[in-house]
């Protein structure tokens, strides 16, 4: 049974391992990706996604998530949602609808409640402590408050050649209440079309959304670029353009898979990611951009 799954950051490893079991047993991309992302959301030690996510500047955890079905282009997203355990599952449920597929804030919470999703206080002692320490640091050292923005994003192709993409994040640490980044935005944080391929991004959402980078990578693969060349070209061309036009560019990393299960990675910072396929068990890689042109990667130690 042929399949490939790619995911952002080292924290995706256990989730990708779970997904791999499902895909080996002929499970669907849809089931695999939801299981994998929930595994990251549920882990309190991963402080940029789901339970134990880092709070905003008033100490509240606000979550963004999305799900896209590459067979139909159906998508669902929630943003700035509080107190629900698995935002990705709410996004997936929304992706089945024709209207009202992207819900934010209290409206998203009201929808989740009517659909029977579990309420949960997503703030842990650990993330509360990190918030208090950061508040103190910011005041004492006059630091920029914004730091940390690691979205878990995944793309999967299953044995039926069905593709899906999904994301989940607590967003920028110390963000303003109501801030949403690229992770919930179609074309920016994720995009997938089973006829072509899929991509997902992580980094400074405010900059990723200025380039619609996940859409751009998929489009380049449609034009005939390999996943690796598509990811490199999208990240490097856009980083260069934004630096030229705006003076500065934030961290941007992208992973992608084409409709043959071949994968690629593009980044302008050091960036770990996870890949598994029918050919091999999940592996963690660390990627780097050496010269502003080409991303290189090596297998990381566990």
| Site for a second copy, rule CB under 8 A | 71-75, 79-80, 98-108, 110-111, 146, 172, 175-181, 185-188, 191, 206, 209-212, 215-216, 219, 241-242, 245-246, 248
**Dihedral angle over CA of 73, 74, 75, 76, nearest 10:** 180
- Crossing angle of helices 213-222/227-246, nearest 10°? 140
Read off the tokens for 281: 């068990």
- Give buried/exposed letters for 197-220 (b at 16+ CB in 10 A, else e): bbbbbbbbbebbbbbbbbbbbbbb
**Is-catalytic flag, 298?**
no
Q: How far is the CB of 72 from a second copy (least distance, A)?
A: 5
Which positions ≥6 away from 269 have C-beta within 8 Å?
A: 203, 251, 252, 253, 288, 289
Q: How far is the CB of 46 from a second copy (least distance, A)?
A: 22
Q: How far is the CB of 282 from a second copy (least distance, A)?
A: 30
Closer to a second copy by CB, 177 or 292: give it. Answer: 177
Closer to a second copy by CB, 158 or 182: give it. Answer: 182
Closer to a second copy by CB, 111 or 297: give it. Answer: 111
Closer to a second copy by CB, 146 or 297: give it. Answer: 146
Given a contact cutoff of 8 angstroms between Cβ atoms, the answer to whether 117 and 89 are in contact is yes
Closer to a second copy by CB, 248 or 302: give it. Answer: 248
Given 8, 47, 151, 267, the catalytic residue? 151
Read off the tokens for 252: 């941007």
Which positions ≥6 away from 133 have C-beta within 8 Å?
A: none
Q: How far is the CB of 285 from a second copy (least distance, A)?
A: 28
Q: Residue 11: phi, psi to the nearest 5?
A: -60, -15
How far, in Å, CA of 10 to CA of 34, rounded? 17
For residue 148, CA distances in Å to 120, 145, 203, 292 come to 23, 10, 8, 23
Closer to a second copy by CB, 180 or 257: give it. Answer: 180
Return the DSSP state at 86: -
Helix or strand or coil: residue 299?
A: strand
Which residue in 272, 300, 277, 274 sits closest to 287, CA to CA?
272
Positive or negative: CA dihedral 86, 91, 92, 93: positive
Q: How far is the CB of 227 from a second copy (least distance, A)?
A: 19
Q: How far is the CB of 290 from a second copy (least distance, A)?
A: 26
Active site residues: 151
């Amino acid at each position: 049974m042929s399949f490939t799954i790619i995911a952002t950051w080292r924290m995706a490893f256990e989730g990708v391992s779970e997904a791999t079991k499902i895909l080996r047993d002929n499970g669907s991309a849809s089931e695999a990706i939801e299981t994998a992302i929930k595994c990251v959301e549920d882990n309190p030690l991963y402080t940029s996604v789901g339970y134990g996510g880092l709070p905003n500047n008033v100490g509240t955890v606000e979550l963004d998530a999305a799900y896209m079905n590459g067979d139909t282009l159906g998508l669902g997203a929630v943003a700035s949602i509080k107190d629900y355990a698995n935002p990705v599952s709410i996004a997936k449920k929304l992706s089945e609808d024709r209207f009202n597929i992207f819900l934010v804030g209290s409206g998203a919470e009201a929808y989740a409640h009517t659909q029977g999703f579990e309420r949960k206080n997503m703030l842990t002692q650990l993330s509360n402590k990190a918030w208090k320490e950061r508040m103190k640091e910011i005041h004492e050292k006059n630091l920029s408050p914004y730091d940390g923005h690691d979205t878990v994003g995944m793309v999967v192709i299953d044995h039926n050649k069905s593709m899906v993409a999904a994301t989940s994040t607590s967003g920028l640490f110390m963000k303003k209440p109501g801030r949403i980044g690229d992770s919930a935005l179609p074309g920016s944080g994720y995009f997938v079309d089973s006829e072509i391929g899929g991509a997902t991004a992580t980094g400074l959402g405010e900059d990723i959304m200025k380039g619609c980078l996940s859409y751009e990578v998929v489009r380049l693969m449609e034009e005939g670029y390999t996943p690796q060349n598509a990811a490199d070209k999208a990240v490097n061309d856009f980083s260069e353009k934004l630096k030229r036009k705006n003076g500065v560019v934030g961290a941007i990393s992208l992973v992608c898979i084409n409709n043959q299960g071949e994968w690629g990675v593009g980044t302008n910072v050091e960036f770990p990611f996870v890949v598994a396929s029918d050919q091999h068990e999940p592996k963690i890689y660390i990627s780097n951009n050496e010269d502003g042109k080409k991303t290189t990667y090596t297998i990381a130690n566990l």
